[in-house]
Structure 1
Amino acid sequence: MAHFPEGFLWGASTAAHQVEGNNTNSDFWLMENLEGSVFAEPSGSAVDHYIRFKEDIAEMAKMGLNAYRFSLEWARIEPEEGQYDAAEIAHYRDVLLTCKEYQITPIVTLHHFSSPQWLIRLGGWESAETPAKFARYCTHVMRELGEWIPYVCTINEANISIGIKKIMKRYELKSGSPGAQVGMNMEKMAQMQKYYMELSKAFGVPPTEVHSFLAPRSEEGLAVIFQAHVAAREAIRQISPQTKVGVTLSLYDIQSAPGGEENAKEAWQEEFLQFVSYLQEDDFFGLQNYTRAVYGPDGLLPIPENAETTQMGNEYYPEALGAVVRYVSQHLKMPIMITENGVATDDDTRRVAFIDRALKGVHTCISDGYQILGYMHWSLMDNFEWQLGFSKRFGLIAVDRATQERTVKPSGYHLGNIARRNAI
């Protein structure tokens, strides 16, 4: 039996918009409910986690998990610029206190893709003013809640727009390449022009200026996101110096076939290395990985025809996680928190196998001296996968959305048993 370090955090992750439901002040809520939306369906009540969070956290503890990564919804807390909702702060305080009650360590994400509608109307994630607005929100949250937050991730997958841009380009070329690590509805991409006209009307800005977090991004906009991280980190440390601060990035295990070494090197530079300077002062790094990407002499190679694939169109390749830990650790001398790793499948036996193979790589990294704080599986529950709706199932817990009844899957008990013995 291979043991993990004492105090290792074992948990699962969620994102507020994907699980809470009725997030009516967010940009995503508006986008989902427009006529001609590219979303397969609206989030609606999602999996009702906003109401049922206590039973969900209790279930995590019962399973054997000791950590929970979840996000606070900026659009709930600051529904209009400069106006903070005390009831929503009280709600998230209840979530944090419930974690404390069940001895679950909270890992809080302050922005997980969805934003207040007012932010988009003011330029969104291309505006040079957004970092200050985000830092102001973070200051308010940490002033109210910081004493119960030991770990905070400022922004989820700050580099995700790079992957989205590549996915859209591959879609245009009709190549059978890896899917995105976020739910994008490529079947509806053809109607985007009309959709952006509707978005323009809804947000009251020109069609080319609807800058939500997952929208195509300029180089300046990409810098805005990382500047927002830096500004938030400084604000958090002033208010809550005991809280450990990091950011999460979406990273493939970038590999090369013969002749593809230079292309793989360029991919690492684009998706990770260019951002290292923004992260050097962080307390930890949030690593999110689901699969690999293999480059040949002509660029990204398609997934092999005989490879097992997931519901997201990714290659089933749990060994990617350990490889990315090793690569990141060469360039960032800080602890790593695995904030997302998982697989979309209806075959839960494949999820169990994925967990085992991924954790074997994690344990080998720890044995070789790499500092890893914990493993957060994506996700706690089957939930709303953005543009793809509720069709993709990542959860350790199944949810019957007609009744909102929860059922722990064998994979949930499996990960919980690993957590209880702190060993694989």
Structure 2
Amino acid sequence: MGLVCALAMSAHEKTFPPDFTFGVATSSYQVEGGIENDWAEWERAGRLKEPHARCGRAVDHWNRYEEDYGLALDVGATAFRMSLEWARIEPERGRIDGGALNAYRERLSRMKARGLRPVVTLHHFTHPSWFHRETPWHLPQSVDAFRAYARACAPLLAGLDALVISLNEPMVLLLGGYLQGLMPPGVTDGPKTMAALANMVRAHVAAREELLAVLGRVEIGISQNMLCFAPDRAWHPLDRALVRLGAQAYNHAFHEALVSGKLRVNMPGIGSAREDIPGARGSCDFIGMNYYTRAHLRFLPRAPFLSFQYRDPRGRGFTDIGWELWPEGFGQVLRELKRYGLPVWVTENGMDDRGGERRPAYIHDHLSQVLTARAEGVDVRGYLYWSLLDNFEWLEGWGPRFGLYHVDFDTLERRATPACHYYKEVATTRRLPPVIQPSAAR
């Protein structure tokens, strides 16, 4: 939205309601440490952008979780998103580790006792080492494997009033792992991508059934990465067509399958899926969305038929990872979610800001879009900043810094960034004050 537009909002529009949730987000592999899974194998194979990078101890959240809960409370958070690590819970197929279950139950119980609502992700990109060999996503057995895992996890959630995310960013996993071969399992196969997509929809349905059988009721959905797409050449009809196809396939196909029961995907040059998934209709209780940036699409006359670029046509600059600063796109995709008639949770939104000074303005501009979307009738219930801590950022390794708290990766000391004060002010006052940049303050 930008500062001028935000300042023009009325006092009412600049206020968040008392029941709006401000929280923080993490994922197990990126923060816990000491995990052996498919990503650890990927790292040893030298498949990251920095071939020698290793997650290893991560930022030792496994041992420092009480400290990190305190840091979340210090920025005004009342919800904490974390994920369960399938590889800890089922290190060998069919063998459930009771010690890991007890450890996660203790962490969730302490989180709840300290006033943080658990937002629990069952699957955040990683798999046990056996999964891709024995039950890969493109085979039907994957659904049974995920069902068994969800059944083991269900008792952990009893009495916690947890918001549950079955799958984090399934389209990122599918495009990165099944089409481009950039992340585990390293496949480059269009038909397998489509088969895996359908099975992941079925896996969500299976997980929901298992949780309901144990808990009686549950709020469950997925967390979908959503991009704002724009034509690289506004005048070009094929660029504009790619934008429509991209938004439908990438942003909406999975959620539409969970709402309507009908999986409809068409990705020219890759594959298509057209299936009715039993049990999928009405199988999500909320829409979870992650937003970071905008992508410009250009049609190419030969394979791969499109280019995907981050550009800066307005001259606003990029985040340090190279993504366009485009909060308007956040508002756009929030408004698109109104079609589902379900509550919306922003399960990730954040900025790689290695200097730490630009993040308050980023948070301001994106929360301004949340307020505008709410004023236009989008039922946004909560906002979880990604991430509480600097952490291991997948293929990028240790370079990016998304954390509200800066982490010294040698000593593991957590240190507040300027965004901590700003986020706490918003979360505790329910208002969105303007940001005074350091240069202006001087």
Q: TM-score range by the shorter chain?
A: 0.7 to 0.9
The aligned residue for residue 156 of structure 1 is 168
CA contact (8 A) 1:288 1:341 kept: yes
Q: CA deviation at 1:301?
A: 6.7
Separation (CA, whole Å) in 2 of partners of 1:21 and 1:214: 29
The aligned residue for residue 31 of structure 1 is 42
The aligned residue for residue 248 of structure 2 is 269
State yes or no: 1:211 paired with 2:188: no
Count of matched residue positions in the alignment of Structure 1 and Structure 2: 383
Q: CA deviation at 1:42?
A: 0.8
Moved more, 371-380 or 85-94: 85-94
Q: CA deviation at 1:113?
A: 0.5
Q: CA deviation at 1:274?
A: 2.7
The aligned residue for residue 392 of structure 2 is 384
Moved more, 259-268 or 372-381: 259-268
CA contact (8 A) 1:230 1:278 kept: no
Q: CA deviation at 1:255?
A: 3.1
1:120–1:297 Cα change, 3 Å: closer
CA contact (8 A) 1:8 1:374 kept: yes
The aligned residue for residue 346 of structure 2 is 338
TM-score, L = length of structure 2: 0.81
Q: Report Cα offsets for 1:109-128 as digits up to 9, x if no partner.
A: 00000111111220422221
Letter of the 2:398 counterpart: F
Separation (CA, whole Å) in 1 of partners of 2:34 and 2:373: 41
Q: CA deviation at 1:347?
A: 3.0
Q: Report Cα offsets for 1:380-410 as digits up to 9, x if no partner.
A: 1000011211111111011112111111111
User: Which of these residues, 98, 110, 130, is aligned with residue 110 of structure 2?
Assistant: 98
Moved more, 234-243 or 103-112: 234-243
Separation (CA, whole Å) in 1 of partners of 2:24 and 2:337: 22
Separation (CA, whole Å) in 1 of partners of 2:101 and 2:308: 47
Q: Report Cα offsets for 1:76-122 as digits up to 9, x if no partner.
A: 01111121111111111121122122211110000000111111220
Letter of the 1:253 counterpart: C
The aligned residue for residue 192 of structure 1 is none
The aligned residue for residue 117 of structure 1 is 129
The aligned residue for residue 206 of structure 2 is 231
The aligned residue for residue 245 of structure 1 is 220
Moved more, 215-224 or 44-53: 215-224
User: Which of these residues, 348, 353, 356, is aligned with residue 361 of structure 2?
Assistant: 353
Once the two structures are superposed, the pairs formed by residues 77-226 of structure 1 within 5 Å of their partners are 77-161=89-173, 163-164=175-176, 211=185, 218-226=193-201
Identity of aligned residues (%): 31
CA contact (8 A) 2:255 2:287 kept: no
Letter of the 1:286 counterpart: G
Letter of the 2:291 counterpart: N
Separation (CA, whole Å) in 2 of partners of 1:228 and 1:212: 21
Separation (CA, whole Å) in 1 of partners of 2:189 and 2:316: 30
Q: CA deviation at 1:5?
A: 2.2
1:248–1:212 Cα change, 3 Å: farther
Query: More strand by proportion, 1 or 2?
Result: 2
CA contact (8 A) 2:392 2:398 kept: yes
CA contact (8 A) 2:90 2:149 kept: yes
Q: Report Cα offsets for 1:255-287 as digits up to 9, x if no partner.
A: 343334322111112213332442212100110
Q: CA deviation at 1:307?
A: 4.8
CA contact (8 A) 2:77 2:427 kept: yes
The aligned residue for residue 8 of structure 2 is none
State yes or no: 1:313 paired with 2:290: no
Letter of the 2:218 counterpart: T
CA contact (8 A) 1:139 1:236 kept: yes
CA contact (8 A) 1:287 1:337 kept: yes
The aligned residue for residue 200 of structure 1 is none
CA contact (8 A) 1:114 1:213 kept: no
The aligned residue for residue 289 of structure 1 is 291
Separation (CA, whole Å) in 2 of partners of 1:273 and 1:346: 32
1:100–1:276 Cα change, 3 Å: closer
Letter of the 1:258 counterpart: W
Using CA pairs below 8 Å that are at least 6 residues apart, which structure has the higher relative contact order?
1
Gaps of 5+ in 1: 170-183, 186-209
Separation (CA, whole Å) in 2 of partners of 1:46 and 1:161: 21
Separation (CA, whole Å) in 2 of partners of 1:167 and 1:396: 33
Letter of the 2:40 counterpart: W
CA contact (8 A) 1:318 1:355 kept: no
RMSD (Å) for aligned C-alpha atoms: 2.4
1:113–1:296 Cα change, 3 Å: closer
Separation (CA, whole Å) in 1 of partners of 2:189 and 2:328: 30
Separation (CA, whole Å) in 1 of partners of 2:418 and 2:137: 40
